[in-house]
């Protein structure tokens, strides 16, 4: 947990450099920062008031040479100690260089978000006119539109979610994959796609025929009863409920059915944990498309990848600052229409 919290450049399950002197209960802050520099990251020490350490969330002790901090406190409050971010690699920062990277890479990770589906008629979440702004306009009493995907809110009142579910997945409308989906499929066809990590729940990856992809946040392909826990394929009854904005209920226990998508308060799909460490260790290119990178752990992929691996952002805006991509191709994703 210590290593993943600080997002070093090794896969977060293997931090051999930490198993030596830094596996002790205490570590020297200056030595630790030198270690961080050696691993290819920049660091910025927080200002510590040594005269009154109790005012700071990190316990400060002085051995006459170093400020010493217990690792337990560093785990709890890493943001007060140092910030780490990847720096851009200039040699990969031109369009020609990126085209060469895409042409020659053999193990590409693609992280995709709702932006790649906008041209298919599905709103994204956070942009102006996106799903969250629609929630605010139609339900002004809702303080936080992310409550739409809050597990406890769903358990209290599933009708809120189902009043908007058709905007994300409308079974009456045939959605065609966008150019971005077809681009990912082309990488797979050329055997260049190591893995796609999709944050989308609209099933357009499947419609595009992309097989080597992880639906990190699940999909509407099945539902799960919040009472008895039984899974049900998304059949004509469930699609009818979505279309009519009504709540489907379990035929066994009559509790609400929840789509098999990841709500706030739930873990990601097991597939993510199974593949991510190995993919981070072997990838030779990362492409991020149509994502705000606001939600972990998918957003942490860009930070956990070794910093020497090239990273390309194709998006409507720069995200994840102060993290630096090697090239940012900025445009409205609707230009990537079919």
Question: Which residues, 6+ apart, have CB-to-CB distance to 74 below 8 Å?
Answer: 2, 27, 58, 81
| Residue 271 near residue 214, CB atoms below 8 Å | yes
| Residue 301 near residue 109, CB atoms below 8 Å | yes
Of 118, 174, 157, the closest CA to residue 315 belongs to 118
Question: Which residues, 6+ apart, have CB-to-CB distance to 181 below 8 Å?
Answer: 116, 117, 204, 205, 207, 208, 210
| Residue 124 near residue 290, CB atoms below 8 Å | yes
| Residue 224 near residue 269, CB atoms below 8 Å | no
Q: Reduced to 3 states, what is the DSSP secondary structure of residue 331?
A: coil
Question: Out of 43, 217, 308, 323, which one is annotated catalytic?
Answer: 217
Q: What are phi and psi of 28, to 5 degrees?
A: -80, 130
Q: Give the pair of three-digit tokens for residue 176.
A: 């065609």
217 is known as an active-site residue: yes
The owner of tokens 């998006």 is: 315
Strands 67-70, 26-28: pairing kind: antiparallel
| Residue 132 near residue 146, CB atoms below 8 Å | yes
Cα 154 from chain centre: 22
| Residue 319 near residue 325, CB atoms below 8 Å | no
Strand partners of residue 69:
27
Q: Rounded CA gap, 12 and 90, in Å?
A: 26
How many angstroms separate the Cα of 69 from the Cα of each of 62, 63, 73? 9, 11, 7
The residues carrying an active-site annotation are 217
């Amino acid at each position: 947990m210590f290593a993943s919290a600080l997002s070093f450049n090794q896969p977060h399950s293997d931090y051999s450099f930490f198993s030596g002197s830094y596996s002790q209960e205490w570590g020297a802050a200056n030595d630790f920062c030198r270690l961080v520099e050696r691993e290819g990251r920049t660091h910025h020490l927080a200002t510590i008031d040594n005269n009154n350490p109790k005012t700071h969330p990190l316990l400060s002790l002085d051995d006459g040479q170093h400020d010493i901090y217990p690792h337990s406190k560093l785990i709890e409050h890493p943001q007060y100690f140092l910030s780490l971010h990847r720096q851009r690699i200039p040699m990969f920062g031109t369009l020609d260089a990126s085209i060469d990277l895409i042409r020659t890479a053999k193990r590409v990770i693609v992280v995709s978000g709702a932006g790649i589906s906008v041209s298919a008629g599905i709103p994204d979440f956070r942009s102006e006119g996106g799903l969250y702004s629609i929630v605010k306009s139609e339900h002004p009493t809702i303080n936080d539109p992310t409550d739409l995907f809050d597990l406890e809110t769903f358990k209290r009142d599933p009708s809120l979610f189902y009043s908007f579910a058709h905007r994300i997945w409308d079974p009456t409308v045939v959605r065609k994959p966008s150019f971005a989906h077809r681009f990912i499929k082309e990488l797979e066809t050329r055997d260049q796609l190591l893995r796609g990590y999709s944050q989308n729940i609209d099933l357009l990856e499947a419609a595009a025929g992309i097989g080597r992809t992880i639906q990190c946040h699940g999909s509407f392909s099945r539902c799960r009863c919040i009472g008895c826990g039984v899974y049900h394929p998304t059949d004509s009854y469930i699609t009818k409920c979505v279309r009519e904005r009504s709540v489907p209920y379990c035929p066994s226990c009559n509790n609400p059915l929840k789509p098999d998508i990841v709500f706030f308060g739930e873990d990601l799909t097991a597939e993510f944990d199974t593949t991510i460490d190995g993919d981070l260790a072997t990838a030779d290119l990362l492409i991020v498309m149509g994502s705000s990178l606001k939600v972990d752990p998918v957003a942490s992929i860009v930070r956990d990848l070794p910093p020497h691996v090239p990273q390309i952002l194709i998006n409507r805006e720069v995200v994840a600052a102060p993290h630096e991509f090697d090239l940012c191709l900025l445009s409205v994703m609707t230009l990537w229409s079919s």
